[in-house]
Structure 1
Amino acid sequence: MTQEMLDRLIGAAPPSTVDLDAVIVRTRRKQRFRRAAASGAAALAVVAVVAGVTLTGGGEHRADPVVQPPAATPSPAAPVSLIEEDTPAGRERTLGRLRVALEAATEKHAAGTKWIYMPDVPGEKRDPDGHPRMWLDKDPVSFEGRSGITGQGRKGGLYVSLRPAGCSGGRSCRPLYECAGAGVPVCSATRTGDGLTLVHYVDEPGKGWVFYGADVLLRDGEHALALSAVNYFGGDGSPAVAPVPVLTRAQVDAIATDVALALSE
């Protein structure tokens, strides 16, 4: 059957009610919308990626910064002792330090006081004025000094001794002065402003003698420094030459404390 015969049997086709031009326009419009939507989505994806890169530092995984613990506070340094007892050269250095510290502290707390030669035994060789006489004892090792001093219109004597005070291990020593049983009229123990143990006392053994004493435990806890101002001039047993020593009790305490500190720094 030919197309012409079919057309005659079916009849002429009714006029189309579909606006083909409008369909074409709508189709093209949808295509443009899809392309625009796809482009917008791609742009948003790019923005998100860029933002992610910015926030995460380029997209690389970075370890969290290591938080360092606070630095430990260093422990206070242990006191350094300037007392050398083991060699002859070290003992001589220590004796020199003791003399220098004694002179400096006396100048500081008793300005105007002068060092003068004070005989110990009759006929001994006279030492020059200006410095205390210093020497070493061996058992136990101790560092000794004595001198005459003048001031306030008086003269008298001054003695210093730096010695072992810790008696551990059978070591020869002389412990810190103890008030109990000392038999002196005035005696007390205290703490200095620098934390040193200080025992100070007044002794009046008779014959008009008056002694102002101070005994200080050094920071190492193993040595003590004794300072004694007396109102006699000469060797032991010499008669009193003034009612009281040249130095006051407060001056004796201050000088002894400064010397002990100087040998502990």
Structure 2
Amino acid sequence: MDKYIDAHIHLDKYSNEELKKMFHELPFQLSLVTVSCDLESCKRNLALAEIYPFVKPAFGFHPEQGLPSDNDISDLFSWINAHKDQMAAVGEVGLPYYLRSEEDIKLDGYIELLEEFIKLAKRWDKPIVLHAVYEDTPVVCDLLEKHSIKKAHFHWFKGDISAVSRLISNDYSISFTPDIVYEKEIQNLIRDYPLDKMMAETDGPWAFEGPFKNKPTHPAMMAHSISTLAEIKEISFNSALNQVYENTKSFYNID
């Protein structure tokens, strides 16, 4: 049976019934790295991991929302510290690129919070899952380099040539979503990125367009994504699938 790893999904945003249906329908062996948005999200992802051994939880604070209070930050870090041995990675963390297009917000507090998460990843030797695109990429790279972080995963990455070059020079990993099937920007980026630094994700339940329009986001969509990757890289589907699987397994230390 083929093996897949969804490198970035928000399982906590699915209902229990949706998850039971999803896992029952899978046509392949699957592991999932489920990222967290806040403390309650962390708790639900951990609870899911205790039910489903193929679920690997990451703990963090999603940046596309208002900053938490000092008390909330303290509670979150205390909880993560207490459960650090049960987490696969620190994440999802980063900078609020899309929120800034809607609101006039300052980055200083977000940068400070991100650096604290980076310090945790360094201290505990954990991978870190990053929400950082376009002009936010250099800021995040500066922090990663400052703390000598090696295992950094830029999920659903988008950026210009200079940003791509910097990620490649640091051996950072990226992942692609099902929009690789229909988005030229993503296809062009993937064409130039090293295959051994790529992972597949769904970012579910985020909805997609193209052949996935009006369909609930499901890990099975990765087969279509990886097929497109194989076409772009001019290799067989099995070669692309095996490489992406091994990349993700190694990056997240998945058994």
- What TM-score does the superposition give when structure 2 sets the normalisation length? 0.23
Asked which structure has the greater RCO (Cα within 8 Å, sep 6+), the reply is 2
Kindly name which structure, 1 or 2, has the bigger radius of gyration based on alpha carbons: 1
Higher strand share: 1
Higher helix share: 2
